[in-house]
């Protein structure tokens, strides 16, 4: 078994695709519209789905926003340098919500950013 993808619902599909591709450097792997269901699925990631877990962006055509709830935590990405990644993401218009630094009660360097829909993304330094 292996993890295939994590699905998140997004209110503005193009805004989300731009964030994940331009700010985080992912690629669109595949996309499909489902007119009868009035939704679009876009799979994005850093590599082929056959080799890597990806993120599924689900856009319901008649929904502009979602409530986050309190069950979902975050998506985690490994970065070479969390400090540099925060600077680059901020320069590209991304929202850094926790600056890079040691995690509480530990030594691992982490940071948190938010995507356009408010989903938290943890950056973990190698």
Alpha-carbon distance of 111 to 82, in angstroms, equals: 7
Alpha-carbon distance of 115 to 104, in angstroms, equals: 23
- Respond yes or no: is residue 67 known to be catalytic: no
Catalytic residue among 52, 56, 78, 122: 122
Joined tokens for residue 48: 């082929």
104 close to 84: Cβ distance less than 8 angstroms: no
Torsion of CA 80, 70, 30, 2, to 10 degrees: 70
Alpha-carbon distance of 44 to 59, in angstroms, equals: 13
Catalytic positions, written as ranges = 122
């Amino acid at each position: 078994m292996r993890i295939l993808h994590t699905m998140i619902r997004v209110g503005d599909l193009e805004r989300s695709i731009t964030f994940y591709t331009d700010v985080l450097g992912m690629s669109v792997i595949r996309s499909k519209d489902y007119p009868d269901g009035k939704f679009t699925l876009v799979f994005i990631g850093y590599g082929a789905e056959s080799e890597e877990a990806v993120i599924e962006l689900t856009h319901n055509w008649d929904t502009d926003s979602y409530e986050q709830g309190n069950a979902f935590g975050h998506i985690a990405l490994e970065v070479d340098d969390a400090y540099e990644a925060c600077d680059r993401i901020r320069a590209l218009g991304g929202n850094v919500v926790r600056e890079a630094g040691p995690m509480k009660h530990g030594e691992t360097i982490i940071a948190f950013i938010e995507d356009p829909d408010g989903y938290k993304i943890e950056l973990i330094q190698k």
